[in-house]
Amino acid sequence: MNDVNLLQDDARLPRYRSSAAARMVNIPVATLRVWERRYQVVGPAQSASGQRLYSSQDVRRLVLIKQLVNRGHGIGMLARMETPQLQDLFDEAREVDQTLAPGERGRPVPRA
């Protein structure tokens, strides 16, 4: 597929404003803006008027980052990772959760 086709495909993708993207990820818009400014977690397109427009891929990445932050991972580390790496990290965490007994989930791991 050439660059022209990629641009046309991208133009057909849904785009969400900051407020809608933040709602979908379940974070405040202010947090979304901080993550963008400080950590460059996503690079949304902008409309002619300067409104940030998030793609479905941007929202998916933000959801993964939020879920991993909720599990205790640092935003600075996560922001540097590619989306497939984030997905792998999330999948690994989910596998660990499934192998733990219900009473052990969420407990800190004892250190030697």
Instruction: Walk across the sheet containing 15-16 and list its strands.
Output: 15-16, 52-55, 45-46
pLDDT higher at 110 or 82: 82
pTM of the model: 0.77
Task: Count CA within 13 A, CB hemisphere, residue 100.
Answer: 14
pLDDT of residue 13: 73
> Residue 71 pLDDT more than 60?
yes
pLDDT at position 1 is 46
Q: What's the pLDDT tens digit per position in 82-99?
A: 999 999 999 998 888 888
* pLDDT of amino acid 7: 47
Sequence letter at residue 56 = S
Mean pLDDT of 57-85: 96
Cα separation, 21 vs 19, in Å, equals 6
CB proximity list for 52: less than 8 A, separation 6 or greater: 17, 18, 36, 44, 45, 46
Say if residue 74's pLDDT is above 90: yes
Alpha helices in the chain (DSSP H): 3-12, 18-25, 29-34, 56-70, 75-79, 83-99
